[in-house]
Amino acid sequence: MNKQLSNRYFAAMCLTFILVVLLAYISLTSGVYKMTFTQVIDTFFRIHPSKDLDLIIFHLRLPRIVLAGLIGLGLAIAGGVLQGISRNPLADTGVLGINNGAGMAIVIFMFFVQGQVTNFNWKMIMLMPFFGLIGGLCSAFIIFFLVWERGNLDTQKLLLTGIAIGTGLGACSMYISLKMKASDFEMATVWLAGSIYSANWSYVISMIPWFLICLPILIIKSNKLDLFRLSQDSLISLGVATEKEKAVLLFSSVGLVSACVSVAGSIGFIGLISPHIAKIIIGNKYKRILPLSGMIGMALVIGSDLIAKTIVAPAELPVGMIISIVGVPYFIYILIKK
């Protein structure tokens, strides 16, 4: 049985990786300026370099694809961890209000440094995830504090409390953005909708330190999430430092979310959909669920961004809108089922 699950997991990872590469290639060659496979190869391997193709591939499309992949990876893994911590299949960074908490902190940061958050200001770009971390952690602690009863999380209240807090924080973010200058307000509004159309390598670099720190922690401690299915008494008898482990997992998850929100705004439902699909494919072991859900999240965001930039070309839709079109019906389906 274990060998069969291992084979299924390996096959699922390979197929998902192929899907990610295929979607990335289609996204790289699609758009107002279409490219052929030969042009892509010539540009990458410098066979027949062209300034126009270099600009399109290396400065416009490739950083956008890499950013979309990182966002999908981070949000999917963070969502899977939150589902394990809360023991709630509907838990998601967007649904629980963590996205909005990180988003509000970043909007406040943008408000106080108006005009300075640009693609060329490295200091401001690198600072944004730190403010997102503070906002996300504050939001998470408020929500978990309100649903904490007798040493346990009340999973029935968790969803409603998260939606309520997230809605309030989202309204505050919009109010603060209305106080900005016209140019900054436009940037904040597009960002709040969940968009990566202004992606560049600066944003990618700002995310990498958070992923290098937080991802290994979550993967290494993924086996702890399986133990959280047991009762509190059983965990104590096994000698598991429950609160310490939950704090480390929560802090690392919010770190990933903050990095993602700082560059793309609030993109919901990735952390809800991806772990569920992974569980259907390879079972309930989080050691397998988290990597596979990360790959699925990458495919979802890259694919959604491809649709967002081509469906009404030359105009573009926010990628968060495309994901919500799929995510909302799936959320309702899970809600009814559970």
- Please check whether residue 134 is in contact with residue 105, taking contact to mean a CB–CB distance below 8 angstroms: yes
Assess whether the previous peptide bond of 318 is cis (omega < 30° from 0): no
pLDDT at 21: 96
pLDDT at 14: 96
Query: For residue 195, how many other CB atoms are within 10 A of its CB?
Result: 21
Tell me how far apart the alpha carbons of residues 242 and 85 are, in angstroms, rounded to a whole number: 10
Q: What does each of the 338 residues of the chain score in pLDDT, given as a tens digit?
A: 577 878 899 999 999 999 999 999 999 998 888 898 999 999 898 888 888 899 999 998 999 999 999 999 999 999 999 998 888 887 888 877 888 888 898 888 888 876 665 555 667 777 888 888 888 888 888 888 888 776 666 666 777 888 888 889 988 988 888 888 777 777 777 777 788 877 889 889 989 999 999 999 999 999 888 888 776 667 677 667 777 888 889 889 988 998 898 888 888 889 999 999 999 999 889 999 999 999 999 999 999 999 998 888 777 888 888 898 888 888 888 777 76
Put simply, whether the predicted model's pTM sits higher than 0.75 gets the answer yes
Tell me how far apart the alpha carbons of residues 77 and 71 are, in angstroms, rounded to a whole number: 10
Tokens read off for 170: 């989202």
pLDDT at 193: 76
Tokens read off for 316: 């573009």
Residue among 16, 70, 99, 88 nearest 276 (CA): 88
pLDDT at 32: 81
Domains and CATH numbers, the chain: 2-337 (1.10.3470.10)
Tell me how far apart the alpha carbons of residues 297 and 308 are, in angstroms, rounded to a whole number: 16
Q: What does the angle CA 95 – CA 101 – CA 102 come to, to the nearest 5 degrees?
A: 110
pLDDT at 4: 80
**Checking DSSP bridges between strand 148-149 and strand 152-153, what pairing results, if any?**
antiparallel
Kindly compute the dihedral angle of the four CA atoms of residues 211, 213, 214, 215, in this order, to the nearest 10 degrees: 60
pLDDT at 143: 84
pLDDT at 153: 66
pLDDT at 151: 60
pLDDT at 321: 86
* Tokens 């990610």, residue located: 20
pLDDT at 307: 92
pLDDT at 295: 96
